[in-house]
Amino acid sequence: AAGVIQSPRHLIKEKRETATLKCYPIPRHDTVYWYQQGPGQDPQFLISFYEKMQSDKGSIPDRFSAQQFSDYHSELNMSSLELGDSALYFCASSLPGANVLTFGAGSRLTVL
Amino acid sequence: AQRVTQPEKLLSVFKGAPVELKCNYSYSGSPELFWYVQYSRQRLQLLLRHISRESIKGFTADLNKGETSFHLKKPFAQEEDSAMYYCALGDSGYSTLTFGKGTMLLVSP
């Protein structure tokens, strides 16, 4: 069965550059969440979308923005990258009203 | 505020030994508790949630509201149980999860 697809798997950028991560949820899942997991840290919630509208916001820096498109895929845009942005970025999706998240494999961002 | 505490970063046991991964939470409402597992080089996946009261791969977890705990237990650990385990707390009205820092379980032969 199709899972949550994240792209790219790995991304290397330099400081002050921009990066875009993409997330394709499971079909019929209309809620998407973004989590950031730094080295040796627990996943931190960044932002979520439901039906293409932002539904909740966590510890997402102002340099980051995200949106959900009409086909329910989501993109996380990161600008003015800092070394501390190096992390594994998880996307998860769920059915409406469900608390069970299905996570993607993650996109690993390395900022040099 | 929601908070999940997993006091052990690492738990190392021998195969066949009982396992208990501790999880305590802080939440003012009616919590939904989950255990997620991350095997090496794989994505996080749901192991079990308290409302289903089921046993998955021999693991069980009971929500103790008095002690605000949701410890994960297995009577006889197997080598394939070695993984990172995350306890997570969801609020009743939404799907935003607060994760604990995780406990690495190592099961030695």
Chain B CB contacts of A58 under 8 Å are 96
Q: Are A46 and A58 in contact (CB under 8 A)?
A: yes
Structure-model confidence comparison of residues A96 and B55, the more confident one: B55
**Rounded mean pLDDT of chain B?**
85
Segment A14-61, tens digit of pLDDT: 999 999 999 999 998 888 989 898 776 667 889 989 899 998 888 899
| pLDDT category of residue B22 using cuts at 50, 70 and 90 | very high
Which residue from B minimizes the CA distance to A3? Answer: B43
Q: Are A61 and A46 in contact (CB under 8 A)?
A: no
Segment A70-93, tens digit of pLDDT: 999 999 999 999 999 998 898 988
Range name among A13-17, A95-99, B23-27, B93-97 with the lowest pLDDT average: B93-97
Query: Comparing C-alpha atoms, which of B17, B13, B22 is closest to residue B69?
Result: B22
Q: Are B71 and B82 in contact (CB under 8 A)?
A: no
Has residue B28 got a pLDDT over 70?
A: yes
Q: What is the reported pLDDT for A97? A: 64
Which residue from A minimizes the CA distance to B90? Answer: A99
Q: What is the reported pLDDT for B95? A: 44
Q: How far apart are CA A102 and CA A59, in angstroms?
A: 21
A interface test, pick of B43, B51, B104 with most A CB neighbours within 10 Å: B43
Segment B64-88, tens digit of pLDDT: 989 999 999 999 999 999 998 989 8
